[in-house]
Amino acid sequence: MATRARAAGMACAALAVLWAIAPVEIGAQVRMTVPPQSQPVALTGATIHTVTSGVIENGTILLENGLITAIGTDVDIPAGARVVNAAGKHIYPGLIDAFSTVGIAEIGAVDVSNDVNELGDFNPNVRADVAVNAESRHIGTTRSAGVLTTLTTPGGGLVSGMSSAMALEGWSWEEMSMQSAAALNVNWPNPNPRRFRGFGGFRFGPQEEQPSYEEQVQQLKDFFAEARAYRDAVAAGEEVRSDSRYLAMIPVIDGAIPVVVAADDAAQINDAITWAQEEGVRIVIRGGQDAIHVADRLVAEDIPVILTSTMAAPGRQYEGYDGAYSMPARLHEAGVRFAISGGSGSLYSNRLPFEAGVAVAFGLPEEEALKAVTINPAQFLGLDDRIGSLEPGKQATFLITTGTPLDMTSDIEQAYIQGRELDMNDIQKHFFEKYMEKVRQHMRRVIS
């Protein structure tokens, strides 16, 4: 018993040491999740960029219960409200990344930390939000860059599953999820694929021939036909075997949620549009490397595009160096509606403001670049009643900055998500402070 008591005492002492170290070595690496808004908050004296209703100089924005309740130059501040002086600062809506894997991909070299791709070609019942890790370190760095909402997106197969709109604050995926099924993702087949998989386009051993382009498109058509037949049978009261895949397709076929089709080549984009018209579904093109070559049709059919990167090298030898950089400006001039995303990797969602900033440097008006990462993706994906602009009734999700968030010389000093004043710490800030302290200690020793 005495031995056991001594062991227990030693364990408690070790635990006490661990907890003493934790705030410095561990806790500082992880942002603290904050509680929901509990009292009215009024931010005064700021330049407020509403996106949809112009710029308000020396304005006030009032938040109550996670929503914007008033905005303007003559706002009545209720008794008991906390007043924040934001004079000299700018307030912008939180940025939206319309194509992200934040929360479902952590370390590329560690397979078990990545939950993006599912097995099989048809997984419409897969929802990204249920796999989101609320403790992901990428959440903090993404928020520090101004991105407060992501469309976290699964991959793999022809029908990958549902993107989920995630507010980047909360203890769990349930708390973070704004819309579990925001869009169905379809990977349009490649008309010119390599015929065999493996290193350099080949693999050793028996070579497995893949379905042709026509066969894959027909598989996609057949799946939608089966889902439509299932929906009709359910609506007619027929006895059918429950199928989660077909059940997930019903709001897609009914037009309640859009289909985001990954397509880059002009032929892919044209074929995808034709297919969507035949199916009667709402379509958004994602990727759009050749979107400018089918701009007339995109405008005529009012089909928006999510550009997956502006900071990219030319995809073909004959393209100019600025092909991707200037694509947003060219699409804007042609009248195509578009959004800009930060790329598919969770490591790159924090590049979103700079993806839009590059587009400004290559001819896109700044106000249009801001729309491309706020209200445009919100409209394309049916979220504009909650986020994307600063208006009464919308969620209080915004940034307080020293200037435009699209310029890397601006600082994002504070952010709010649904009225919550965020802990702005992240792993990069932690390591900066940690190793700056190392330098300071070294310099003190040298001087002494």
CATH number at residue 158: 3.20.20.140
Of the candidates 115, 126, 400, 82, the residue with the CA atom closest to the CA atom of residue 245: 126
Residue 235, helix vs strand vs coil: helix
Residue spans of beta strands (DSSP E) within 65-110 = 67-72, 82-85, 90-93, 95-100
Which residue among 329, 359, 381 closes a domain? 381
Which residue among 381, 404, 432 closes a domain? 381
In degrees to the nearest 10, what's the CA dihedral of 330, 334, 335, 336? Answer: -60
Which residue among 346, 362, 381 closes a domain? 381
Position 232 in a domain: yes
Secondary element (H or E) of residue 271: helix 266-279
At 32 the pLDDT is 86
Position 393 in a domain: yes
> Which stretches in the chain have pLDDT values below 70?
1-30, 193-208, 344-346
Statement to judge: residues 46 and 190 lie in one domain: no
Of the candidates 48, 45, 41, 58, the residue with the CA atom closest to the CA atom of residue 87: 45
Q: What is the 3-state secondary structure (H, E, C) of 279-315?
A: HCCCEEEEECCCHHHHHHHHHHCCCCEEECCCCCCCC
Statement to judge: residues 242 and 174 lie in one domain: yes
| 64, two tokens | 């109550």
Answer whether 181's CB lies under 8 Å from 162's CB. yes
| Residue pointed to by tokens 């403001």 | 353
Position 303 in a domain: yes
Position 102 in a domain: yes
Answer whether 406's CB lies under 8 Å from 356's CB. yes
Statement to judge: residues 80 and 229 lie in one domain: no
Residue spans of beta strands (DSSP E) within 231-293 = 259-263, 283-287
Domain tally, the chain = 2
Each residue's pLDDT tens digit, 281-313: 999 999 999 999 999 999 999 999 999 989 988
Statement to judge: residues 168 and 56 lie in one domain: no
Q: How many Cβ atoms sit within 10 Å of the Cβ of residue 311?
A: 15
| 10, two tokens | 């030693």
95-100 vs 147-152, strand pairing mode: parallel
Position 8 in a domain: no
Q: Cα separation of 45 and 354, whole Å? A: 27
At 240 the pLDDT is 86
Q: What is the 3-state secondary structure (H, E, C) of 364-408?
A: CCHHHHHHHCCHHHHHHCCCCCCCCCCCCCCECCEEEECCCCCCC
Q: Cα separation of 186 and 158, whole Å? A: 6
Position 19 in a domain: no
Statement to judge: residues 114 and 224 lie in one domain: yes
Secondary element (H or E) of residue 338: strand 338-340
Q: Cα separation of 340 and 321, whole Å? A: 19
At 207 the pLDDT is 52
Q: How many Cβ atoms sit within 10 Å of the Cβ of residue 93?
A: 30
Statement to judge: residues 261 and 376 lie in one domain: yes
In degrees to the nearest 10, what's the CA dihedral of 213, 215, 216, 221? Answer: 130
Residue 267 CA neighbour count, 13 Å, CB half: 7
At 208 the pLDDT is 59
Statement to judge: residues 168 and 268 lie in one domain: yes
Of the candidates 291, 386, 300, the residue with the CA atom closest to the CA atom of residue 339: 291
- Residue 138: which domain range? 95-381
Statement to judge: residues 220 and 263 lie in one domain: yes
Q: Cα separation of 137 and 355, whole Å? A: 21
| Residue pointed to by tokens 């089966």 | 226
Q: Cα separation of 260 and 248, whole Å? A: 15
Statement to judge: residues 292 and 188 lie in one domain: yes
Position 5 in a domain: no
Statement to judge: residues 77 and 137 lie in one domain: no
At 13 the pLDDT is 44
Statement to judge: residues 90 and 100 lie in one domain: no
Q: Residue-wise over 199-231: b if at least 16 C-beta within 10 A, else e?
A: eeeeeeeeeeeeeebeebbebbeebbeebbebb
Position 147 in a domain: yes
147-152 vs 177-187, strand pairing mode: unpaired
The CATH number that applies at residue 398 is 2.30.40.10
CA–CA–CA angle 298, 301, 303 (5° rounding): 55
Residue 340, helix vs strand vs coil: strand
Q: Residues with Cβ < 8 Å from 293, sequence gap 6 or more?
A: 266
> Helices 266-279 & 213-235, crossing angle to 10 degrees?
20
Statement to judge: residues 219 and 338 lie in one domain: yes
